A and B are shown apart, each in its own frame.
Chain A
């Protein structure tokens, strides 16, 4: 069965420092991969997605992620974190079931930004 692992429950980064959030997936076929962000009390917003092609994908708010098939990973990065980036980040894999997709989410990583 498909699954997503986000090994870091929470991460604290200083404002202006770089960020990398880890994501590993398990899926038998070529995966569709996503990163979503959830700000406190809000819904989920799509940051970026990987379907095919270039393994380095750019998203909104200056985020990027790199798909590495050999490591079954899709880590999220940002070169310089802003205080407004503090939120919960979810990695997800799109699993096709009877022709239709469902998203399987990781358990999330809470990002804290220190001054």
Chain B
């Protein structure tokens, strides 16, 4: 049983297209995240949701729109894709503990290539 699963694993598309990445966790966590890993392997948080509410939004262009239909799912929709959006996108989840002592479980990543 995969704890945090993302689909698709690979995505190749043209500039200007719109695409979505889906994430589901079966760990019973109440917080989910999207992280972006660029070509230099640098990982940066994009969004975080707690119980379906957006709690972290890190200066991400509004072409990126996360949606959390329930606390087990967090999807990422990207409009008007640009070359610079090419990256690996990681979904993660955790319990939100007091004072932030969270342990994140990551999915395997979705590699997006924009041509």
* Interface of A, helix, strand, loop or mixed by DSSP: strand
Contact with A along B44-63 (1 / 0, CB 8 A): 11001010000110100000
Q: Is the CB–CB distance between B48 and A43 below 8 Å?
A: no
Point out which of B4, B100, B102, B108 has the most chain A C-beta atoms below 10 A from its C-beta. B100
Would you give the shortest CB distance from A101 to chain B, in whole angstroms?
3
Q: Is A69 an interface residue, CB under 8 A from the partner?
A: no
Chain A's closest residue to B50 (CB) is A100
Q: Given contacts A88-B41, A90-B43, A107-B40, are A100 and B101 in contact (CB under 8 A)?
A: no
Q: Is the CB–CB distance between A103 and B104 below 8 Å?
A: yes
| Contact residues, B82-109 vs A (CB, 8 A) | 90, 92, 94, 96, 99-109
Q: Is the CB–CB distance between B108 and A32 below 8 Å?
A: no
Q: Is the CB–CB distance between A94 and B44 below 8 Å?
A: no
Contact among A38, A100, A105 for B56, CB-based, below 8 A? A100
Binding site for A on B (CB under 8 A): 4, 31, 33, 35, 40-45, 48, 50, 55-56, 58, 90, 92, 94, 96, 99-109
Q: Is the CB–CB distance between B55 and A100 below 8 Å?
A: yes
Cα distance, A42 to B106, chains bound together (Å): 10
Interface size on A, residues (CB 8 A): 27
Q: Which B residues are in CB contact (< 8 Å) with A32?
A: 100-102
Q: Is the CB–CB distance between A42 and B108 below 8 Å?
A: yes
| Interface pairs (28), CB distance under 8 Å | A32-B101, A32-B102, A34-B103, A38-B41, A43-B4, A43-B90, A43-B106, A43-B108, A44-B92, A44-B106, A45-B106, A46-B103, A51-B101, A88-B41, A100-B31, A100-B50, A100-B55, A100-B96, A100-B100, A101-B94, A101-B100, A101-B102, A102-B56, A102-B58, A105-B42, A107-B40, A107-B42, A108-B43
Q: Is the CB–CB distance between B108 and A94 below 8 Å?
A: no
Contact with B along A33-50 (1 / 0, CB 8 A): 010101000111110010
